[in-house]
Structure 1
Amino acid sequence: MTQRPRASLGRVLDDLGATLLELVAGDRDRPIGGVVIHDPLDDPVLPQQALVLGVGLHDPEEITRVLRDLGRQDAAGLVLRSPVTVDEALSNETGVAVLALTKGATWDQLSILLRSVLDVGIAESETLGGMPSGDLFALANATAALLDAPVTIEDRSSRVLAYSGRQDEADTARVETVLGRQVPERYSRLLSERGVFRELYRTDQPVYVAPLPATEPDVALPRVAVAVRAGDEILGSIWVAVHEPLSDERSEALRDAAKVVALHMLRIRAGADVERRLRADLISTALDGSREALDRLGLADQALVVLALAVGPATERQRVADAFALHLGAVFPRSAAALVGDVTYGLIPASSEERAAQVAQDFLDRVGDRSGAHIGVGAAVRLPQARAGADRALRVLRTSRRTQRVARLADIQVEALLLELRDLVEARGEPLTGPIARLVAYDRDHNAALVETLRAWLDAFGDVTTAAAAAYVHPNTFRYRLRRLAEVGQLDLTDPEARFAAMLQLRILATDTVSGSSLVEPC
């Protein structure tokens, strides 16, 4: 099969249009070879004809310097936050187009939308229903032309998959929906309360939706929506902002469009599933040190930093994995990431472990803490040692009571060694012995708290006042318990070797109280 031409700035402006981007200066016909986020502290290798997102670029002198540098690297364009004032002559001199990102839109939104458009732009020239396979933006524009009204294509969760041009002709709610790639929660709640979704999903006919109460000065427009189905499965819906109900002819055209959209959504889903599996297999093989897999990923012959990402709910793993791959790709063009088992691994060229940890922290800050995600950062060494380091760091984060969510192996190596020592003890089945065993038995038989007292005293470095406060007892009571545990456990608290052995046992050995709860806190 032949390939379609690369996407151009003109294609991006046509698809994303005035809602997000405006061409300030330069040639709209420049092809785009990739999307990169500008980093003033790093000097990434740009793909040919890159579109650079100038996050945080405001100073005119700095913008001029960046434009000249991008011109030397044959970049296609630079996106800046609106308002933008750039000399047309400078853009012509460097050959770099300058675009403005509208206020209210985020860089994350723009990055996701750009990659959607660019992925479509390089797809194979297969067609479904007369349209390029998987090109939902083209479908949205074609449907909008048939209905003479702006259109969005949404999934079951009211996330915007694609939209047509002319969105500025709709109301504020539509513009907010397009910018956020999601129907605002207050509107989706109103639609649910009015039974719109229930009616929409039980019929294959277009549903007329009266205007929702407007909270803005703009007039709210009615909508006509139709479900996108594959047999009995609801894949999503098409929403049209209208001024009046559709005619019979246009209603029929909308139903036909829904059938074509269903084909493309199924094709996208099947392709994405296959692509994910192939990507996961390739990265899994690379993590084991396969030279061939690393060659195919473009990561051979160099040290790598491996990031290991784990997410709490299983239902969130793929969503977060996709977001992680997008985040790494924006910062490190030569990176790879995929969900392998229940862990998402990211492979990035080694610049520094500190840099990798900062990128990981930035990602977790963006996705929030609802997913319960943690990221372990391995050392900058060859595979598979790099993976082992990331796995060890991740395990410490998942089993500890630390509040941090990102850690390098170098920062938590002692905790990792303690966990591995615990594994060794459990594998050998070694019983609890010595003073700690005697204290555990005494606590179980007498409902005492000698083990808890010893732990508090050791954690407080022998400071009785601090330890008593931690145990919520009077210092005199604590001193009595301390003397008692020395007698019962036959433990010489003045002997540093005895103290170290006791502390090590408390950290490693899984001991049980009378109630059966663990006496040993995770490392």
Structure 2
Amino acid sequence: MLDNLGMTLLDLALGDPHSAARPAELVIHDRHDDSPISAHALVLGVGVREPDEVAALLWRLGPSKATALVVRAPIAVNDAVRAAATESGVVLLTLTPGAAWAQVAALLRSVLSEGDVGASGRETLMGIPAGDMFSLANAISELVDAPVTIEDLNSRVLAFSANQDKTDDPRIQTILGRQVPGLFLEMLESHGVFAELYHSDKPIYVEMAGLALPRMAIAIRAGDDTLGSMWATVAERSTPEREQAFAEAAKLVALHMLRQRAGADVERRLRAELVATVLEGGPGAHEAARRLHIASSSCVVLALGVGAGNGVPAARAEAERQRIADALAVHLAAIHPRSASALVGGIAYGILPVPAGRDDGDLRAERVATEFLDHASTRVRCAFGIGRTATTVTELAQSRRDADRALRVIRAGGSARPIARIPEVYATALLLELSDLIATEAAPPHGPLSRLFDYDREHHSNLVPSLRAWLDAFGDINAAADAVRVHPSTFRYRLRRVVEISGLDLDDREQRFAAMLQLRLSDTAGPS
């Protein structure tokens, strides 16, 4: 981690990184959250600046066996901080001023490569682990004696080499933001750099105002498919030998990018299978939960439905669902590193761990869903159904069913909000399921309500709406008459006709309840 991010972002303040355990996950410290810190965590001490705060946090992290603490530089390292670092065994790192915590968290997650749901063995390409773009960037940097970045077609940084502190301001901004800044992108485009880059099969030399140091760049291709580009910050035009080495290295980068793309697809499919197995329950659920690292956690299932809209091609709709599912996975991972998410059957499911022993897990999931809908750039209508808190793996299947039921209520128009928790819409969900049961009957029995519907259709009358208004008003004639916009005397006449035609006894509470239920079901499924 220090090899990849040292000098540019991180600096060692105290401790021995060689004897420290490998970080297992990234944790953001919150002084108002007393949740336990997992073993071998890399903790980001956001807002921790004063020496006594740093020392206190180091003492807290020691019993948890955390690996390292990162705090914003500069800090005053006094005797209390030294003693806490020594006794706790936690490595203390400092973050360079100006770097955003969100950017640092993303970079650290890239380096840590937390996802381990697949096989543990790693394939190598030319001696470098397949898909390990940072190691590859460092190797190429040594080859051409210049700091290197590897970027995709949108100029997002996929990996970078060490020694970026020896470059210029545009490169440092690019590393910190993991994206070439817009100002420099416009400058490169206006000078025709990208046009030249993607039309050439050899390295190009870029020198212009605004860049303190020139660049050597080459397009990364796999056959006719352009995958991205590679940039080296050089002091002067490179020798032909180094340009040739840079061009040959681009071919190796292409292999790794293709392998990374294929690996991501395999990883996505495997994760989707594991999530589906957990949500379906059964004998394989516990093993799948163990591989997803959620077997010992209380969790809530979220079901995110994505509306494709009319006239949208199936391929585009599927791509949109996958895009939003990926965004949900990133959002949940930022909330809790042990969360799991996948697109299963057209629904993006998220499994969110929540604090054990509390009964507000679904409320916490609702806040997470609200934040996602508030901040995600979605071009289609999205809705969340939220299930109950599952304290065991076995209960996750029920939480998934609850989330599906709540989502269905939203899609059926039973909720005005795009987020529904199952306790809020349980009755409506039951009505929808009861309407499904009725729909399976070849010929529902002909009863009082059926006679009223038939009479209204044949005579173009309004007896059914009148009965509904009377029931909704709890028998208040004036309120019911006002609801259907007729005089109370006219309404009393209609009510007598309802009794005559249907045979209902409106003084019988059981018959009143049956009529209310059937009317609600007719609103849900439509009269038949």
Structure 1 and Structure 2 fold alike (TM over 0.5)? yes
Deviations 1:52-110 (A, max 9, x none): 22345456555433211211222221123445444341322322122233455444433
Gaps of 5+ in 2: 307-316
Residues 1:182 and 1:415: Cα distance change in structure 2 (over 3 Å): farther
User: Is the contact between residue 268 and residue 342 of structure 2 (CA under 8 Å) also seen in structure 1?
Assistant: yes
The within-5 A match list for 1:449-468 is: none
With over 3 angstroms needed to count, the CA separation of the structure-2 counterparts of 1:393 and 1:257, relative to structure 1, is same
SS of the residue 1:509 aligns to: helix
Q: CA separation of 1:425/1:68 partners in 2, compared to 1, >3 Å: closer, same or farther?
A: same
Helix, strand or coil for the counterpart of 1:377? strand
Q: Which residue of 2 aligns with 1:151?
A: 148
Q: Tell me what 2:423 maps to.
A: 410
User: Could you tell me how far apart the structure 2 residues matched to 1:116 and 1:374 are?
Assistant: 29
TM-score, normalising length from structure 1? 0.75
User: What is the rounded CA distance, in whole Å, between the counterparts of 2:129 and 2:267 in structure 1?
Assistant: 18
Worse-matched range after superposition: 350-359 or 452-461: 452-461
The worse-fitting range, judged by mean Cα deviation, of 84-93 and 497-506 is: 497-506
- Confirm whether residue 73 of structure 1 aligns to residue 64 of structure 2: yes
Please point out which of 247, 257, 270 is paired with 2:262: 270
Cα deviation 1:291-311 (Å, max 9, x = unaligned): 4434545555x5742423425
Counterpart-to-counterpart distance in 2, 1:403 and 1:106: 38
Counterpart of 1:203, as a letter, is S
Give the aligned partner of residue 5 of structure 1.
none
Shift of 1:176: 3.1
Residues 195 and 133 from structure 1, CA distance in 2 versus in 1: closer, same or farther, beyond 3 angstroms? same
Q: Quick check: 1:325–1:346 contact (8 Å CA) kept in 2?
A: no
1:161 aligns with 2:158: yes
Partner of 2:24: 34
Which of the residues 251, 268, 288 maps onto 1:293? 288
C-alpha separation between the residues in 2 aligned to 1:456 and 1:236?
A: 65
Aligned to 1:109, the other structure's residue is in SS state helix
CA separation of 1:239/1:344 partners in 2, compared to 1, >3 Å: closer, same or farther?
farther
One-letter identity of the residue aligned with 2:245: A
Letter in 2 for 1:22: D
1:4 aligns with: none
**Which residue, out of 132, 139, 143, partners 2:129?**
132
Matched, 1:315 2:307: no
* CA apart distance, 1:136: 0.8
Matches within 5 A, 1:207-246: 207-209=204-206, 211=208, 223-242=215-234, 245-246=237-238
Conserved? CA contact 1:286–1:294, under 8 Å: yes
Match of residue 478, structure 1, among 476, 485, 488: 485
Number of equivalences: 490
**Among 364, 378, 395, which residue is 2:388 paired with?**
378
1:19 correspondence with 2:19: no
Aligned position for 1:361: 367
What's the RMSD between the two structures over aligned residues?
4.5
**Paired AA for residue 261 in structure 2:** R
CA distance in 2, matches of 1:506, 1:386: 34
Distance change in 2, residues 1:318/1:174 (3 Å):
farther
Letter in 2 for 1:14: D
Is residue 377–residue 390 contact of structure 1 (8 Å, CA) maintained in 2? yes
Distance 1:160 1:322 in 2: 19
The counterpart of 2:91, out of the listed 75, 97, 121, is 97
Q: Tell me the CA shift for residue 457 of structure 1.
A: 9.5
> Which amino acid letter does the alignment assign opposite residue 180 of structure 1?
G
Unmatched runs of 5 consecutive residues or more in structure 1:
1-11, 469-474, 513-517
Letter in 2 for 1:31: A
Structure 1 range deviating more: 230-239 or 177-186: 177-186
Match of 1:348 in 2: 353
- Alpha-carbon contact 2:46-2:101 (below 8 Å) kept: yes
Q: Tell me, yes or no, if structure 1 residue 508 matches structure 2 residue 521.
A: yes
For residues 243 and 463 of structure 1, what CA distance do their matches in structure 2 show?
A: 89
Deviation, structure 1 residue 493: 13
Cα distance change, pair 85–464 in 1 and its aligned pair in 2 (3 A): farther
Query: 1:428: which partner in 2?
Result: 441
Q: Secondary structure at the match of 1:204?
A: coil
Check whether the contact 2:220–2:253 (CA below 8 A) recurs between aligned residues: yes
Q: Cα distance 1:121–1:317, how it changes in 2: closer, same or farther (>3 A)?
A: closer
In structure 2, C-alpha distance between the alignment counterparts of 1:455 and 1:224, rounded to whole Å: 77
Give the whole-Å Cα distance in 2 for the aligned partners of 1:369 and 1:357: 20
Q: Indicate if the aligned counterparts of 2:303 and 2:407 stay in contact, CA closer than 8 A.
A: no
Alpha-carbon distance, 1:188 to partner = 4.4
Deviation at 1:238, TM superposition (A): 1.2
Task: Give the residue type in structure 2 aligned to 1:387.
Answer: A
Post-superposition CA distance 1:268-293 (Å, at most 9, x none) = 22223223333333333333232443
> Given that residues 449 and 515 in structure 2 are in contact (C-alpha distance below 8 angstroms), is that contact kept between their aligned partners in structure 1?
yes
Task: Tell me if the contact between 1:297 and 1:336 (Cα under 8 Å) persists in the aligned partners.
Answer: yes
Q: Deviations over 1:186-241 (max 9, x none)?
A: 654665666544543343223445648x6xxxx56554432212222222221234
Using the TM superposition, give the Cα deviation of residue 389 of structure 1 relative to its aligned residue in structure 2, in angstroms: 2.5
Hey, what's the Cα distance between the residues in 2 that align with 1:183 and 1:441?
71
Partners of 2:232 and 2:14 lie apart in 1 by 33
After superposition, what is the alpha-carbon deviation per residue over 1:445-502, rounded to whole angstroms, capped at 9, x for unaligned?
97x999899989988999999999xxxxxx7983559949868867999978787666
* Structure 2 letter corresponding to 1:264: H
Amino acid at match of 2:93: L
Contact 2:406–2:429 at 8 Å: present in 1 too? yes
Q: Please say if 1:115 is aligned against 2:109.
A: yes
Change (3 A) 1:53 1:395: farther
Bigger mean CA offset, 493-502 vs 143-152: 493-502
1:103-139 residue CA offsets vs partner (Å, 9 max, x unmatched): 5544443333223212399975643234333221122
SS of match in other structure, 1:378 = strand
1:501–1:23 distance in 2 versus 1, CA, 3 Å? farther
**Offset at 1:336?**
4.2
